[in-house]
Amino acid sequence: MKVAVLDDWQRIAAQCTDWSALAARAEITFFHDSLKDEAQLAERLAPFDILLTLRERTRFPASLTARLPRLRLLNVTGMRNLSVDVAALEARGVVVCRTESGEGGESTSELALCLMLTAARRVAAGDASVRAGTFQSGIAPGISLKGRTLGLIGLGRLGRMVAGYAAALGMRVIAWSPHLTAERAAEAGVAYASKEELLRTADVVSLHLVLAPQTRGIIGAAELALMKPGAILVNTSRSPLVDTPALIARLNEGTLLAGLDVYDEEPLPAGHPLLSAPNVVLSPHLGYCVEENFEVFYRQSVENALAFLDGAPVRLMPASAGMPVAA
């Protein structure tokens, strides 16, 4: 029996839990890189019976899983994974399991706050300047967030957390989402605003929406043009919510700042225009990457694999939590 642990980019999976019980029953291979080419990925994964994946780093459409004849169990971390065609796997008799998380979304919400502050105070540029020996030379002044307006696109669990952090900083908080009402916003202690009003008035715009057909590209060139000069866009949700080329254009113009944790392609490839864009803080998708999550992710991944080998799978993932049928 062969087990592959995929996308261990930070090389921490082996130390996050005790693998000995699984290692006694199967050969385990840890992969620390990602393959984007489906043919190469199929060739790599074809020898494995069990795949333990990490979030949505590797996509598993039906076209890929059809090329994995030995696959018997695919395990995902987290409760949802829109990169996996669960229905196609189940049709082939492959068991799909999932794990819980180790925290309630605080890690991503805290990172949104971190990116907001880092962009507002030009911390990344200052760090680079200190290392280059130029100290404050050429560093533009930052802004204080007290008294500024935070616009939340999305006011779910994570958006509400960020609203609380912003209130502690003395910020005014407004919110909009496709289905948000003034009453629901008031319940969260924030003011409702139309999408246009939010974009025109907010000093910081932070995205907290689930990626869906109706939210893809919800911040495009027209929306970015509404944002006032010097405003900050923070995205810790999903990259396709934003028109990346349009954002890069605004960054290069010097009219917007940004703090980004998510990208259209991950890892971000060499030569990508974001890497040379000014006025942007780039974080390597660290939103959920905290010890509390990894401990649960990998402990339950091992538990799921052992339960499967015992003939009694646990934490089965419903097809509705995977890739949309239309994808």
Confidence (pLDDT) at 327? 35
Are residue 149 and residue 209 in the same domain, yes or no?
yes
> Per-residue pLDDT tens for 58-108?
999 999 999 999 999 999 999 989 899 999 999 999 999 999 999 999 999
Residues 189 and 234 in one domain: yes
How many whole angstroms separate alpha carbon 213 and alpha carbon 257? 26
**Residue 326 in domain:** no
Number of structural domains, the chain? 2
pTM for this entry: 0.94
CA–CA gap between residue 237 and residue 152 (Å, rounded):
12
CATH code of the domain in which 247 resides: 3.40.50.720
| 327 assigned to some structural domain | no
Counting other chains too, the contacts that 20-27 makes at CB distance below 8 Å and 24 or more residues apart are 21/302, 21/306, 22/302, 22/305, 22/306, 25/1, 25/306, 25/309, 26/1, 26/2, 26/50, 26/305, 26/309, 27/1, 27/2, 27/3
Same domain, yes or no, for 221 and 121?
yes
The residues that are catalytic are 238, 266, 285
* Alpha helices (H) in 75-181, listed in sequence order: 86-91, 106-120, 123-132, 157-168
Pair (249, 273) in one structural domain: yes
* Whether residue 130 is found in the same domain as residue 57: no
Per-residue pLDDT of 206-252, as tens digits, reads 999 999 899 999 999 999 999 999 999 999 999 999 999 999 999 99
**Residue appearing with tokens 């385990």:** 28
Residue 316 lies in a domain: yes
Region of residue 323 (left: phi > 0; alpha: psi -120 to 50; beta: else):
beta
- Read off φ and ψ for residue 250, nearest 5 degrees: -65, -35
pLDDT at position 326: 40
